[in-house]
Chains A and B, each alone.
Chain A
Amino acid sequence: MEDIKRLSSINRLHVALACRIGIAFILLVTPLVLPAQEGFEDRLKFTEIQDLLGEGIAKRDVRKQALGWYLWAIYRENETANRDSAFQYLARSVDLFAKTKDTVAYQRARAELATRLSERGKADEALKMQQEALDYFRKTGNNRLEILVLAQMARVYQMQGDTAQAQVMKKAFRDKGRLLKDTLLLINVFMDEVVQLQASQEYRNAISFAFRVLELAQQSRRQEFVNWAEYNIGLLYVQQNDKQMALRFLRRAERSATTAYDPIRRDVYRHLSSIYSEMDSLSQALEYARRYIELGDTLLNRDRLAISHRLAIQFSEKERSREMAVMSKEIAAIEAAQKEQRNFFYAILLFFGAIILAMFFIVRDYRHRLYTNRVIAEQNEKINLQTIQQLEDALRIESMQSMLEGQESERRRVAHDLHDSLGGLLAVTKMRLDNLSGKIPELDKNEEFGKIKDLLDDTITETRQISQNLQPGSLHQFGLMKAVRDLTTRVRGEGVPVIDFQHFGSFTDIDHTVALNCYRIIQELLQNSLKHARATEILVQLTRTDGELALLVEDNGVGYDPETVKKGMGTGNLSQRVQFIKGDINIQSAAGQGTSTMVTVPLN
């Protein structure tokens, strides 16, 4: 109803200029043709908009807020004609709609905003925005909103003074409107046609369109349009100079006028008065002239009233602004309360987080302590085991030492006996046998005697060998190097490997026990190579550096897997000796690649 009021008020202001009526219609048609889009069509009251906005802010519902601001802008504009603030509210609405991703609403509000923008002298920009909206609605087939935008664009062009372009828009708007079977829209379209035709002085056509408006208005029982149609038909007949018809329709318009104080009614009176005067029906003319003046005064008064009413509205607007401010404060308070709640929640969360973290650390610390204790226990155990191992080692070395010493002294004794007693006896035997054969020449021819002599030679050699092996006399006498050289020299004969002996450094100051053990080690290694390796070459090497003695026996024989042979009796004895002199043994061997055994002995 407000729209109709507005329509009538603007009609009243521009009633004389038909084309301007058209613009006014387009302006006012806009709300009428608004299609069903949720929320936009609602003509909410002040408090309802307030509630909507308040709810939107409280629930952080961006769409509600956007819609609220949109409606608020329209409401304010209608109430106060303050297009400036409407522009700002619409701008806010557009921003919020942009966030909702509701493109339809966004484009609609934007087109609306654009119209306001054009009023601020930015028509190009406005048209660009509206064209965008138009393209979007066209693309999505939203006819109703397309019409809305077309109407707005026509309005902008018109304001720009670009009538041609405005006509194009209006035509598109009309064409589109016909497509829609919407009575109200059709009425508006036909009304627009009437205005257009009137402006171009095609009165006959204008009358036919006006009749169609009348018909549709009667069908839909829209009294205000019926009145408009009758008045315009009357007016058009005035133009046609058909006084009878004009009179008839103007009288009908007089009756159908919705209110007593209607600007149309006043114009009707004016036109009736002039028609009657032309028809020389002066009393009638006078009567209508009187009614025209009375109503004119009344309307003037009403205009005054309206102005004062608007002033009152503007005053109450301030009140409302104040209320809005209070509301905003309340909203701020609600938000603050929410924030407080949130903070409390965060605090609780933080508290529990801290507790959980603390528990985590406690558990971890506990576990760490358990772990540390376990590690310490393990280490203690390990240390104990090591101590035991060391004690065992010491004991073993001690027993090994006495064992080796006993072995050596026993060997020395046996060697001595073999060498001196047995060797001497054998030598004497040999000598006496020689003597005998010298005295009795036939004996040499005796085969058996010769065999006995050979056997005796072998026995002597063997005894010497055994004795030498048991007690390396030269070791004591000449030191390790010469003893080892003797050892390697002793190996000779058919099919025996070539033995290279090399020595580097001085060996004279080496402790006798160390030297003896080194000698035994080399002896054993050499023995192993000779016995098992089937080598053709053996390298025996002694190297003496400042702090170390290195013994090396290397052969090019068949080799063996050190892991499997390690436990063998020979190497077992060997490793005992190495351990005894605190040396290190390192065996490199693989099947077919010979054996290289190196013993390093630290020297003090």
Chain B
Amino acid sequence: MIRIFIADDHVMFAEGLESMLADEPDFEICGRARNAADTIKEVPRLLPDVLLLDINLPDQSGLDVCKKLRTDTPDVKILALSMHNDESYISAMLSLGAQGYVLKNTGKVELCTAIRALAEGKTYFTQEVTDTMMQSLMRERKAGVAKEPPKISRREKEVLKLIMDEQTTQEIAKHLFLSEKTVESHRAALLAKLGARNTAGLVKAALQWKILND
């Protein structure tokens, strides 16, 4: 028997969820809470196997609840149940100790699978959530570690060209009709992107990646 605690402020949703899960013979709904405070209070007392946690709770965020329970009751598996399919929420929940993340529109079968997976000590993510994570990992390139040339904006290329022409920030700003601060921004971005520490490094990296060749 898997004991389940539901934390969701949306009454109708919670009731629907409960009645649906109640149909499953190995599930037992041990408790319900409509806000973060009640959840934090009830869960350590009831000690469910799985906590279905909505991120959007009225008093505190689900993230805070997750963080708190992670230390208070580390044995309680937390399945984030959210409308948010954003990487920031997903990775935040995961880093705070959630073992699974499903979207609220997930079908009954998948939800049950997720609960069971968590109960067995596994993790579970909906396909959509996995996609989001992959997408995010792919798109964010860490500065200086990429094996392929970093993506340099056209503006940065202009600035880089002028830097390689030994022009000062002032001259570049005048030349491109930009403020000196903005030129400094470009320069900072270039330094970060090319993993350089100074102008010499910039030039070296620019030549290495053949950035200005096209």
Chain A interface (Cβ < 8 Å from any Cβ of B): 419-421, 423-428, 430-432, 434-435, 438-439, 457, 460-461, 464, 467-468, 473-474, 477-478, 482-483, 485-486, 488-490, 492, 499-502, 504-505, 539, 541, 543, 545, 547-548, 550, 552, 554, 584, 586, 588, 594, 596, 598, 600, 602
**Can you list the 4 inter-chain pairs with the closest CB atoms, starting with the nearest?**
A428-B16, A424-B10, A434-B108, A482-B88
A489 and B105 within 8 A (CB): no
Task: Please tell me if the beta carbons of B83 and A423 are within 8 angstroms of each other in the complex.
Answer: yes
The answer to the question of B170 belonging to the interface, with a C-beta cut-off of 8 Å to chain A, is no
Q: Which residue of chain B lies nearest to A439 when distances are taken between CB atoms in the complex?
A: B23
Task: Pick the contact of A548: B12, B56, B84, B184 (CB < 8 A).
Answer: B184
Whether A431 touches B185, Cβ cut-off 8 Å, given contacts A419-B56, A420-B56, is no
Highest count of chain A CB atoms <10 Å: which of B85, B92, B189: B189
For B127, the chain A residues whose CB sits under 8 A away are: none
A584-B104 Cα distance, complex, nearest whole Å: 41
* A489 and B135 contacting across the interface, CB-CB below 8 Å: yes
Instruction: State in angstroms the CA–CA spacing of A396 and B61 once bound together.
Output: 36
Rounded to whole angstroms, the CA-CA distance of A296 and B192 in the bound complex is 140
Nearest chain A residue, comparing its CB with the CB of B89: A474
Cβ contact of B131, chosen from A474, A492, A499, cutoff 8 A = A492
Q: In the complex the two chains form, is A501's CB within 8 Å of B155's CB?
A: no
- The answer to whether B92 touches A477 (Cβ under 8 A) is yes
Contacts A427-B104, A489-B86: A500 and B151 contacting too (C-beta < 8 A)? yes
Which of B25-33, B137-145, B203-211 interfaces with chain A? Answer: B137-145
- Is B181 a contact of A489 with CB atoms below 8 Å? no
Does B193 have its Cβ within 8 Å of any Cβ on chain A? Answer: yes
| Any A CB within 8 A of the CB of B200 | no
Flag if B140 contacts A485 (CB, 8 Å): yes
What's the minimum C-beta distance from A40 to chain B, rounded to whole angstroms?
A: 84
A539 engages B151 (CB within 8 Å): yes
Q: Which of B85, B92, B135, B151 contacts A502 (CB 8 A)?
A: B151
Say yes or no for B80: interface residue by CB 8 A criterion.
Answer: no
Alpha-carbon gap, A551 to B150, bound state (A): 18
Query: Are A550 and B108 closer than 8 Å at their CB atoms?
Result: no
- Decide: A584 near B179, CB < 8 A? Known: A431-B108, A478-B92: yes
Q: Are A485 and B181 in touch, CB under 8 angstroms?
A: no
Q: Knowing A424-B104, A426-B105, A435-B108, say if A464 contacts B85 (CB, 8 Å).
A: yes
A602: nearest chain-B partner, CB-CB = B181
Would you call A432 and B16 a contact (CB within 8 A)? yes
Considering only CB atoms and an 8 Å cut-off, how many residues of chain B contact the other chain?
A: 51
Interface residues of B in 10-27 (CB under 8 A from A): 10, 12-13, 15-17, 19-20, 23
CB contacts (< 8 Å) of B92 on chain A: these are 477-478
Encode B103-142 as 1/0 by CB contact (under 8 A) with A: 1110111000000000000000000000110011001110
11 contacts between A and B (CB under 8 A): A421-B10, A438-B109, A477-B92, A478-B88, A489-B86, A489-B139, A504-B193, A548-B184, A594-B154, A600-B179, A600-B181
- Give the Cβ gap from A477 to chain B, nearest Cβ, in Å: 7
How far, in whole Å, are A465 and B148 apart by their CA atoms in the complex? 33
Query: Does B153 have its Cβ within 8 Å of any Cβ on chain A?
Result: yes
Supplied contacts A504-B189, A547-B181, A588-B154, 18 more A-B pairs, CB within 8 Å: A420-B10, A423-B83, A427-B16, A427-B104, A428-B13, A431-B13, A438-B108, A468-B84, A482-B87, A485-B136, A489-B139, A490-B86, A500-B141, A500-B151, A502-B150, A543-B186, A588-B155, A600-B181
- Kindly state whether residue B188 has any CB partner on chain A within 8 Å: yes
Name the CB-closest residue of A to B84.
A473
B83 close to A600 (CB less than 8 A): no
Given known contacts A477-B92, A489-B136, A541 and B86 CB-to-CB distance under 8 angstroms: no
Cα–Cα distance between A438 and B19 once the two chains are bound (Å): 13
Whether A434 contacts B107 in the complex (CB less than 8 A), given A489-B135, A586-B178, comes out as yes
A550 contacts B89, C-beta separation under 8 Å: no
Q: Across the interface, do B16 and A431 meet the contact criterion of CB distance under 8 Å?
A: yes
Complex Cα–Cα for A548 and B182 (A): 7
B9 at the interface (CB under 8 A from A): yes
Q: With A423-B83, A457-B105, A539-B151 in contact, do A435 and B88 touch (Cβ < 8 Å)?
A: no
